[in-house]
Chains A and B, each alone.
Chain A
Amino acid sequence: SAVISQKPSRDICQRGTSLTIQCQVDSQVTMMFWYRQQPGQSLTLIATANQGSEATYESGFVIDKFPISRPNLTFSTLTVSNMSPEDSSIYLCSVYPGPWHNEQFFGPGTRLTVL
């Protein structure tokens, strides 16, 4: 399995500001993903973080609002830009090590509250 850490674990931010969330894996992985979990809801895929190229966003999510970087095979960041209270959620990264695992491992999540 993969060991995944996220920073920060939680934050309280003011509306109009931006927050960058980091995801670090202890080994090189094929793919990394970012999910949003709104209060009391299920997880929704935001985007696939592609190493060396632009992220692939799901419907309803745009790069200007959620810019993503993936500079190498073990690290990715998600920025939540120009935040509003509706952005208050848990943000989780996951990794897919490769076809020899065929499952995704999740980080501990970042709980974001926007005032």
Chain B
Amino acid sequence: AQTVTQSQPEMSVQEAETVTLSCTYDTSESNYYLFWYKQPPSRQMILVIRQEAYKQQNATENRFSVNFQKAAKSFSLKISDSQLGDTAMYFCAFMKPAGGGGADGLTFGKGTHLIIQP
């Protein structure tokens, strides 16, 4: 079984600053996917960014980028030029592909509450 650990329960930064959220995971699998999801107060889970384990290149999506260190089993999220709308819970998640083109359910970390101050 895999585990996902987020060691920062809450972080607060000023608008326009850069912030990095940490995530480590443990697995014996070689093929898997890692995600960062955002959950604002509306409770809708929104995918921020995805990383395939077989890809060495770190994923980027506009202001969001990851630092994926496979050997260290580390997957941090960097948010540049933070905005008030970035205030939310952020969850790191792990997914293993399953047979027949399927996938296992997601394993989530405990989450980091990110607050962007004006």
A contact set with B: CB distance below 8 Å: 30-31, 33, 35, 37, 41-45, 48, 58, 90, 92, 94, 96, 98-99, 102-106, 108-109, 111
Contacts and interface: CB of A to CB of B under 8 A. Distances in A.
B104 to A, nearest CB: 8
23 contacts: A30-B102, A31-B103, A35-B105, A37-B43, A41-B110, A42-B91, A42-B109, A42-B110, A42-B111, A43-B106, A45-B107, A48-B104, A94-B106, A98-B101, A99-B97, A99-B103, A102-B33, A103-B33, A103-B47, A103-B95, A104-B106, A106-B37, A109-B43
Given A102-B50, A103-B33, A103-B50, A45 B105 contact: yes
Contacts of B91: 42-43
B105 A103 contact: no
A39 to B, nearest CB: 11
Given A42-B91, A42-B109, A105-B47, 9 more contacts: A31-B102, A42-B108, A42-B110, A45-B106, A45-B107, A94-B106, A99-B97, A103-B95, A108-B43
B62 interface: no
A4 to B, nearest CB: 10
Contacts of B47: 103, 105
A111 B42 CA distance: 11
B75 to A, nearest CB: 15
B25 interface: no
Contacts of B52: 102
Q: Which label, helix, strand, loop or mixed, suits the secondary structure of the A interface?
A: strand
Nearest to B110: A42
Contact of A96 (B43, B44, B50, B102): B102
Contacts of A104: 95, 103, 106
B68 interface: no
Contacts of A96: 102-103
A58 to B, nearest CB: 7
Contacts of B95: 102-104
Contacts of A31: 102-103
A33 B98 CA distance: 14
